[in-house]
Amino acid sequence: MAYDVHIIGGGMAGSEAAWQLAKRGLKVRLSEMRGGGEMTPAHQTAGLAELVCSNSFRSDDDEKNAVGLLHYEMRQLDSLIMAAAAKARVPAGSALAVDRDVFSAEVEAALAAQPTLEVVRERIDVLPSAGLTIVATGPLTAEALAHSIGAATGADSLAFFDAIAPIVYRESINMDVAWMASRWDKGAEASLEMGGDGRDYINCPMTKDQYLAFREELLAGQKTEFKEWEASTPYFDGCMPIEVMAERGVETLRFGPMKPVGLDNPHWATPEHPNGRWPYAVVQLRQDNKLGTLWNMVGFQTKLKHAEQVRVFRTIPGLEQAEFARLGGLHRNTFLNSPTLLDRQLRLKKAPHIRFAGQITGCEGYVESAAVGLLAGLMAGAEASGQNWSPPPRTTALGALLAHITGDAEAECYQPMNVNFGLFPPVAPDVKKKVRKEAYTARAKADLAGWIA
């Protein structure tokens, strides 16, 4: 069919943009190369909005957390991604985690039901020369299209390394060693509402000697070798490989993904543990699917070779016989220098019929990617309908993220960014520090309501 907007890429951003356009009656062509004989280094299926890394959308607390506030704002704008996440949700304390297969299926079903939306399994190699277009190909943009984008922008894309964590079969975890708990029981009420029991993480405890030995194994393990052209590519801190963190200091892991605070091990209430029930370090696993059969290793992104992952991670107490549904990996991501290349409506300055959305713009995270897709869909929808469009206030999570991408950030040192309160205009200086986060969210909710109205 003839279409009003062409979307290239069926990930989080592309799917959300397509939804926002189609539900407004606009005709949309959504091109996705997976399912047409093509695949990326990180994806495993042809499903739309496939989650390739963690299954967590992070905190769902919209009173004290910037990403939780972003969840709230997207829900107010009828986000498909948030609606699908609600249907695919699995217990994870105060975090929003999903069964990744159910989530992708919900997104596909919702888009398939839109009569003005056509999903085409095809690879696009060249940016369209005309027609409203949203490029949402993500950080794993196919080589030919990446070259076309480079030619259109007149600048090289920046790049960083991203890593994914292993997933373990639940039945292979030794629960005589590991135990179920949430840190300080945080999020127990939300967990119970979700059908959980308030103890939403599997915890594998370590003594000091076990921790030090494990760190040495991480440092000595065989790693993925980089190609020469990749040698200068930096890591994004939000997906730092576990062994790279280990290199930064003996205690770094204990203050990061292996933090033991708030985790009381009932197995250690014995004379063999004279220091009591508090482990020196803990490896946590979070439920990855609704059946509870798959659990991912929280914060354990890795560039260890596959055989080394099995060997090293089986030294973790409770994972001695672990069977892995997926091992970790490393891939090179690319993104635009958006503050230089894009205008305030995410349009390419040199070719304004083209918008960019999602991680390719330099936002980081599932929710942020979908949020920028949502905004791009609203912008393109207004333009296609001949309407004026004004951005959400910068005091909102959506507005702060958009402003960062399209001009507030320093172009010379632009790096992938999660939403955070540091992107927001400051609240009044007389607001006390202990209630400052609540002040940010209250202001954002009020300003968003006014903008929507």
Rounded alpha-carbon distances, angstroms, from residue 263 to 116, 205, 208, 312: 51, 9, 15, 23
Question: CA-to-CA distance for 195 and 190, rounded, in angstroms?
Answer: 9
What pLDDT digit, counting tens, does each position of 328-377 carry?
Answer: 887 777 788 899 999 999 999 999 999 999 999 989 899 999 999 999 99
Q: How far is CA 235 from the centre of its chain?
A: 15
Q: Is 358 annotated as a binding residue?
A: no
Query: What value does the mean pLDDT take over residues 2-6?
Result: 96
Q: Is 381 annotated as a binding residue?
A: no
The yes-or-no verdict on residue 277 having pLDDT over 70 is yes
Phi, psi of 286 (to 5 degrees): -120, 140
pLDDT band at 229 (very low <50, low <70, confident <90, very high): very low
Q: Is 39 annotated as a binding residue?
A: no
Question: CA-to-CA distance for 28 and 6, rounded, in angstroms?
Answer: 6
Give the CA-trace dihedral at 13, 18, 23, 28, to 10 degrees: 170
Helix axes 100-112, 80-88, angle to 10 degrees: 140
The yes-or-no verdict on residue 79 having pLDDT over 80 is yes
pLDDT band at 18 (very low <50, low <70, confident <90, very high): very high
Query: What value does the mean pLDDT take over residues 215-243?
Result: 74
Q: Regarding predicted confidence, which is higher, 313 or 190?
A: 313
Rounded alpha-carbon distances, angstroms, from residue 4 to 7, 77, 105, 358, 382: 10, 21, 26, 20, 11
Q: Is 362 annotated as a binding residue?
A: no
Q: Where are the domains of the chain?
A: 5-157+336-452, 164-332
What pLDDT digit, counting tens, does each position of 34-60 carry?
Answer: 987 787 777 778 899 999 888 999 999
Residue pair 66/367 in contact (Cβ under 8 Å)? The answer is no
Q: Hey, which residues does 5 pair with through a beta bridge?
A: 28
Question: CA-to-CA distance for 181 and 52, rounded, in angstroms?
Answer: 26
The yes-or-no verdict on residue 232 having pLDDT over 60 is no
Question: CA-to-CA distance for 9 and 30, rounded, in angstroms?
Answer: 7
**Hey, what amino acid is at 275?**
N
Query: What value does the mean pLDDT take over residues 410-430?
Result: 83
Percent of the chain clearing pLDDT 70 (strictly above): 90
Q: Hey, which residues does 121 pair with through a beta bridge?
A: 32
Q: Is 9 annotated as a binding residue?
A: yes
- Classify domain 5-157+336-452 at the CATH topology level: FAD/NAD(P)-binding domain (3.50.50)
Q: Is 407 annotated as a binding residue?
A: no
Supply the pLDDT for residue 291: 82
Which residues have a Cβ under 8 Å from the Cβ of 330 and sit 6 or more positions away? 161, 162, 163, 164, 224, 241, 302, 303
The yes-or-no verdict on residue 250 having pLDDT over 80 is yes
Model pTM score: 0.77
The yes-or-no verdict on residue 231 having pLDDT over 60 is no
What pLDDT digit, counting tens, does each position of 142-163 carry?
Answer: 888 988 998 998 766 666 677 7
User: What is the average pLDDT score of the chain?
Assistant: 89
What pLDDT digit, counting tens, does each position of 82-103 carry?
Answer: 999 999 999 998 899 999 999 9
Nearest to 225 by CA among 148, 305, 166: 305
The yes-or-no verdict on residue 171 having pLDDT over 80 is yes
Highest mean predicted confidence (pLDDT) among 25-29, 259-263, 361-365? 25-29
